[in-house]
Amino acid sequence: MDEAIDEALVKNHKPAWKGGDLPYEASYGKLMMWFFLITDTLTFSAFLAAYGFSRFKFADIWPNPEDVFSHFPFLHGEHPLLFVALMTFILIMSSVTMVLAVNYGHKMQRKKVILWLSLTIVGGAIFLGTQAWEWGHFIHGDKGGINTQTEHVVHIAEGEKLSSVYKLIDIDKYSDANVSSLKYFALEDLTAEMKQGFDKQNIKSLIENLEAKPEFNIRKANRTYLSNQESINYIKENATNVVLGANLKNNEYGHTLFADYFFFITGFHGFHVFSGVILLIILLINVIKGTYERRGHYEMVEKVGLYWHFVDLVWVFVFTFFYLV
């Protein structure tokens, strides 16, 4: 009996690199990819856990994603989370095309592998483009905010509808004529005294326009609305400066940690997507050259496919944590 087992093992033995070590029956390349994905999972989990702790610690004043991500390219009006949903759909569909590329690789159908790999690359590139647009919109801002002495950002509203600093002051946010007032930070060689002067000028302009336009008021960080007169008094007593857009120090949307996490987590994920697109391009070149046909297998496509599915799955969690919770 033992001799029969030994004979069967010898007969079916494969080199360790090709998965000959039971019980895994997986190549070292696949195992190393799995180890990498496990460690990367722990990294992303730590980032999202940190975001979750901050999100609930500052729940009362945390920015509402529907207010922050409410625009869609070339469409007017508010479209909360629609663009982010499109980004998610594109990335998920690229995962589907990757599955098809791996499937046809198993069947050794090179032309179809080329087709589905190409579509996966296109999906990844489109996702990177949409994320770049979202970053640009987030950085430049949309409605503007008002920093207060409590370090909470408040916003301009019309009744119980969120409005913007630009609409209150009645200026074009895209005009270069505003560089000397709201957009003074674009100027060079400003002293602290000059910055304070611009800040006072902007706050004075807010108060004058609130007094002249009673339909406008303030929405506080905890999303409660003040009356017009209460808003005027609140600005006089608490406002320090107008903030436009978001960076690592200032955030028109609310708590600065929100912007910090947004840049870090989505940037880290975007780097993974970019790396994946580069790997897919290299794969595509090798497939076109017939490299894997000569090897007799498309295992490299399968390994990169594991990475791509991981990147897509991580985005589902980022989407849930950042945009839905």
DSSP 181-208: TTTGGGSSS--HHHHHHHHHHHHHHHHH
Which domains, and CATH codes, for the chain? Answer: 2-141+257-324 (1.20.120.80), 145-244 (no CATH)
Give backbone dihedrals phi and psi of 248, rounded to 5 degrees, phi first.
Answer: -75, -10
pLDDT surpassing 90 at residue 133? yes
pLDDT at 183 (0 to 100): 56
Instruction: Report d(CA 302, CA 306) in Å as an integer.
Output: 6
Shortest CA distance to 218 belongs to which of 201, 206, 202?
206
Q: What is the mean pLDDT of the chain?
A: 86
pLDDT at 170 (0 to 100): 73
Between CA 28 and CA 31, with CA 30 as vertex, the angle to 5 degrees is 60
In this structure, what token pair is assigned to residue 127?
């996702």
Q: Where are the alpha helices (DSSP H) in 107-164?
A: 110-140
- Measuring CA to CA, how many Å separate 324 from each of 64, 67, 311? 9, 12, 19
User: What share of the chain in percent tops pLDDT 90?
Assistant: 58
- State pTM to two decimals: 0.84
Query: Please, which pLDDT band fits residue 171 given cuts at 50, 70 and 90?
Result: low
Encode pLDDT of 285-297 as tens digits. Answer: 999 999 999 998 8
Query: Please, which pLDDT band fits residue 5 given cuts at 50, 70 and 90?
Result: very low
16: which residues sit within 8 A by CB, 6+ positions away? 28
Query: Please, which pLDDT band fits residue 23 given cuts at 50, 70 and 90?
Result: very low
Query: Please, which pLDDT band fits residue 25 given cuts at 50, 70 and 90?
Result: low
Instruction: Report d(CA 114, CA 281) in Å as an integer.
Output: 10
pLDDT surpassing 60 at residue 315? yes
What is the chain's alpha carbon radius of gyration, rounded to the nearest angstrom?
Answer: 27
25: which residues sit within 8 A by CB, 6+ positions away? 19
pLDDT at 8 (0 to 100): 46
In this structure, what token pair is assigned to residue 65?
């994603």
pLDDT at 190 (0 to 100): 59
